[in-house]
Structure 1
Amino acid sequence: MTLEEISDRLEIQELMVEYCYAIDTRDWDALDEVFTPDAVIDYTEMVGVKGTLPEIKAFLAQSMQVLRTTQHIISTTKLKIEGDHAYGKTICTNPMVLQPDGHVMVVGLWYRDEFVRTPKGWRISSRYEENCWRYNVPPGLLPES
C-alpha cells in the first residue's frame, strides 16, 4: 500500500466513525461533514425511507425520538479505492433502547457506501443500509425483512 492509500483508508474510517457518533449523539448537523450535499441515503430495508441529506436529517430527528439510546458499532470494512472515488461495505451492529420502557433490541446490517474525495476530504455520496439480522424488535416497529 502506498502512503496515499493508507491515508485515504484512515480518512474514510474516520468518516465512518463520525457518522456513528453523529447518529448516536443525535447531532444531525454533523452529518453535513459526513455526506456530500447531494448524497442519496437509502435506509429502505432497515426503516423504510430513502432520501436526500436534508430529508434524512429531518426523518432521523423525528423517528429516533422513540429511542432512548443507540450505539452504532462498526467493523470489518472492505474498501476499494479508485482515485477520487471509493466503494465500501462495512458491518454494523446496533443495539437500541426504546423509550420509555427500556426494551433493548439489536440489528445487524451492512453499510454499502460510495465515497468521493472533495476539497474538504472524503465524503459519502451514496449509502445503502442492507439488512442482515434483527433481534428482539417489537412487531410493527420496523419494516418486515
Structure 2
Amino acid sequence: MSTPRTDDIVEIQQLLARYAVTITQLDVENLVKVFTEDGTYSAFGETYSLGRFPELVEAAPKGLFMTGESLVEFDENDRNKATGTQPLCFIEHSAHDMRIGYYRDTYLRTEKGWRLSTRAMTFIRRTGVHDSGRPHAIGRPAGG
C-alpha cells in the first residue's frame, strides 16, 4: 500500500536517478534542474553555486556515475524537508579508473516537486580515509 512518505521516497529516488543520468550524459541543462534555484554542490574543500556547474562538469573526468539507493530521513517538524546519504561509484570512461564515496544531501519539496538543496561529496580513499577531496583549481575565481 502506498503512503505519502512512500510517494516522497519514490520521487526523491527518481530525482537522484535523474542526477546520475544527466551528469553521466553531460546534460548540464537538465542536471541543474534537479536542484533548488539556490542549490549548492560541495567537494574539494569548496562549495559551488549552480552557476558554476557548466565549468565544473567540463573540468571533471568523464564517465559513468553509478549510484545506489539513498537512505532518506524526513524532518519530523517539516514535511517539506529531508536529508539523505547516497553511495557512489564513478568509473572514468577511458581507463575505467574508479572513485568511490557518497553524497550527503538535503532535499526540499518545491512547487516543482522534491529538489536537491545541497549535495556534498565524500570520497573513500584506498587508505580508508573519508574526505571531501583535495582542493584544486578548476579555473575558479574565489566566491562560489
| 1:89 and 2:80 correspond | no
Which of 48, 53, 76 is equivalent to 1:51? 48
Partner of 2:134: 143
Partner of 1:123: 115
Aligned AA (1:119): E
Find the residue that maps to 1:71 and give its secondary structure.
Answer: strand
Find the residue that maps to 1:38 and give its secondary structure.
Answer: strand
TM-score (norm 2): 0.79
Shift of 1:40: 1.6
Of Structure 1 and Structure 2, which has the larger fraction of its residues in strand? 1
Percentage identity across aligned positions? Answer: 24
Aligned AA (2:3): L
5+ residue gaps, structure 2: 127-132, 136-144
Shift of 1:104: 2.2
Partner of 2:12: 12
Shift of 1:71: 1.0
Partner of 1:109: 101
* C-alpha separation in 2, matches of 1:104 and 1:32: 26
Of Structure 1 and Structure 2, which has the larger fraction of its residues in helix? 1
Shift of 1:32: 2.7
Tell me the number of residue pairs that the alignment of Structure 1 and Structure 2 aligns. 127
Aligned alpha-carbon RMSD (Å): 2.1
Partner of 1:60: 57
Find the residue that maps to 1:86 and give its secondary structure.
Answer: strand
Shift of 1:12: 0.3
Is the CA contact (8 Å cut-off) linking 2:84 and 2:106 kept in structure 1? yes
Q: State the 4+ residue runs in structure 1 displaced beyond 3 angstroms.
A: none
* C-alpha separation in 2, matches of 1:109 and 1:132: 5
Is the CA contact (8 Å cut-off) linking 1:73 and 1:94 kept in structure 2? yes
* C-alpha separation in 2, matches of 1:2 and 1:132: 36
Partner of 2:129: none
Aligned AA (2:66): I
